[in-house]
Amino acid sequence: MPTRRMALVDAFTTDPLSGNAAGVLPDADGLSAEQCRAIARELAVSETAFVSSSTDADRQVRFFTPTQEVDLCGHATIAAHAYLLDQGELSAGSHSLATAVGVLDIDVEADGTVWMTQETPTVEQREIGYDWLADALGTEPSTMQDVGAEIPVARASTGLPVLVVPINFLGSLGGLEPNAGAIRALSEEHDVAGIYAFTFDTLSTDSTAHGRFFAPAVGIDEDPVTGTASGACAAYFHAAGATAFDDPPAELTFEQGDFLDRAGRVRVCVDTDDSGSTRVRVGGQAVTAVEGSITIPDDGVDDIIEA
């Protein structure tokens, strides 16, 4: 049977076996959605990036979790471009990337830092009962109420919509015991991929916030380090009526993954483009942990039996 190159690349870190692992298939031309889904299920990381040629951009990418295709994935985008740079298949500079949400700008620095300009952000405040949120996250309503009075729950998106939920302290965030069924129901109710819970109580004084992302609705119980959710949270901080800053800094740093022993750091820049629209760029480095080849299954073969 045919094989293709594959790699597991740890994003938002320079230390192997930390950060967020992404599958990368750099030569995915001709693969069907069924084949991509089967490969992603076999690699069993939160997302796998399938890179192929494009007539609209320098390259195209599709993202698959072990259960389904998703429109956008920040850490897999960072991982794929860092891997291609390491392989000598692209150079530092500006690149374009065709995705399900449109063509995005990618900037690669000489030191391997990859910056991804995300979709124009949207932020909408949502009125959700704290009892419902507490049940979903496995915590007490008080861990959200005392910060929620000034920082409301919101649905935010820079390509992948999430519910952004503030938590009072790092200990409370680490103590969450998420209820996958309740989070899935909330996600479906508000048409989001999952819940991004965060606190301003951080491990490093240089960090802006510490987050955790729960997305069982798309097959990910907890994502170690999430670029798209960090970008959405940064957009949330900068949105009118939903900011904890009198003057938000131009670059923010999000901690994530420490409670899963997969520590990573996401850099996010928020500014205004020439048209006056808010622009969110997510950046980080990545390191290859595993590389080799994977056998490609026959197209259309699916032995899953549904009851």
Exposure string of 14-40, with b = 16+ CB inside 10 Å and e = fewer, is beeebbbbbbbbbebeebeeebbbbbb
Residue type, 228: T
Q: What is the dihedral of CA 269, 270, 275, 276, to 10 degrees?
A: -160
Q: Count other C-beta atoms under 10 Å from residue 101's C-beta.
A: 16
Token reading at 65: 């979790």
34, 42, 47, 189: the active-site residue? 47
Q: Is 219 left (phi over 0), alpha (psi -120 to 50) or beta?
A: left
- Alpha helices by DSSP H, listed for 50-176, are 74-86, 130-137, 142-148, 170-174
- The yes-or-no answer on residue 47 being catalytic is yes
Say which residues have a Cβ less than 8 Å from residue 139's Cβ, sequence separation at least 6: 167, 172, 175, 176, 177
Which residues, in sequence order, are bridge partners of residue 292? 6
Catalytic residues: 47
